[in-house]
Amino acid sequence: MTSLADAFARASAEGRAALIGYLPAGYPSVAGCVDALAAMVEGGVDIVEVGLPYSDPLMDGPTIQEAVEAALAAGVSTTEVLATVQAVAATGAATVVMSYWNPIERYGVSRFAEALAVAGGAGVITPDLTPDEAGPWLAAVAAAHIDPVFLVAPSSTEARIRRVAAVTRGFVYVASTMGVTGVRAAVSDRAGALVARVRQVTDLPLAVGLGVSSGAQAAEVAAYADGVIVGSAFVRRLIDAPDPASGVAAVRELAVELAAGVRAARPS
């Protein structure tokens, strides 16, 4: 059992969804990102997503793009991403990387999987890699004993959902909308229906992302999903903070609110 499976099992034992928080490595600095991610864990985040900054982020909305561009301008590379993973994994939280495929391919498929495992990483979310093109990647993560996480979306066919479920480990990332990431006033009403479709073909945990930004929204999603993913809302707290220490405090505060939200959905 991987640390991802452990995290979902612990949350399930408490009768709640797992809380998953994302930040791109290197923002507002490498050390500042580590501090913010540690604050997330202190606030109640169960699983941490460390974003690998990339110059052409197809799924990322303007908030995450702003932070990623700043990290890239500061020279953040895969080396710093792996160091961030190692530091955050040391907190005991299950830690995964969110990365587009191009940086992994450039770094070396097997080399990246092995380096992530050494750093204590539990898995990798690859939003732009389809299972049909993932043969070498699946072999590499299997050898490194880390989990490959693939995405489904409202447009996914039944055949695509089955294919994703067959190769994914750890959890299935359920994208609640076809749009890019970002804070929204309401989570897509298609998310619940998509979760129900995916449940028909897999027993893996299902985590919903894209749009969650408040405790109330976290509670709404936690009522039907096994995991609630929050990214842009955390990034926005850092961007809007007047200084790094205030940003860390704001991230911790949001984590506490979201953790209360997933617990509010606990069945009686």
The beta-strand segments (E) located in 59-103 are 94-98
Closest CA to 25 of 106, 121, 111: 121
| Domain boundaries of the chain, sorted by first residue | 3-264
* Residue matched to tokens 């936690």: 222
Of 49, 80, 220, 226, which one is the catalytic site residue? 49
CATH H-level superfamily of 3-264: Aldolase class I (3.20.20.70)
Query: From edge to edge, which strands make up the β-sheet containing 94-98?
Result: 147-149, 123-125, 94-98, 47-51, 18-24, 227-230, 206-209, 172-175, 151-152
pLDDT in tens, 26-75: 999 999 999 999 999 999 999 999 999 998 877 788 899 999 999 999 99
Range 180-194 average pLDDT: 61
pTM of the model: 0.93
In sequence order, the β-bridge partners of residue 48 are: 21, 95
Candidate list 6, 35, 42, 60, residue with the active-site label? 60
Q: Is 49 a catalytic residue?
A: yes
Residue 186 is predicted with a pLDDT of: 47
Q: Percent of the chain scored above 90 by pLDDT?
A: 86
Q: State pLDDT tens for residues 214-260.
A: 999 999 999 999 999 999 999 999 999 999 999 999 999 999 999 99
Token pair belonging to 174? 């359920």
